[in-house]
Amino acid sequence: MTTPTLPRRLVPLDAFRGATVALMILVNNPGSYSIRYPALRHAAWNGRTITDMVFPFFLWIMGMAMTFSLAKRLSSGATGQSLILHALNRSAIIFALGLLINAFPFGVGAP
């Protein structure tokens, strides 16, 4: 009986992703917007705080993950056409979910 092999993970990328998501949650939900830690505010035009780096970090993580994912799928025999169709299908689903969420004029669960 063979044991299933787990997919190899790039642990530093996963750790960076987890830290970025935690920071994203902290930045978006600081508790009270009236008394917020200065580092969690967006900087003035000529400055930068860690808050301003969340989105670039997220984009870098997504680029790295896509590179590894596409390389793995191509090496397993997927064609370029199947990858494009998969991306288009996923994009359509995300777009439809966005339309569905925004169809509720007052948000889900609002009184």
Q: Which residues are catalytic?
A: 42
For residue 27, how many other CB atoms are within 10 A of its CB? 20
- What is the H or E stretch that residue 81 is in? helix 80-102
Alpha-carbon gap, residue 9 to 82, rounded angstroms: 24
* Cα–Cα distance, 33 to 52 (Å, whole number): 17
Residue 44 backbone class (left: φ over 0; alpha: ψ -120 to 50; beta: rest): beta
Q: Rounded to an integer, what distance in angstroms lies between the CA atom of residue 39 and that of residue 47?
A: 11
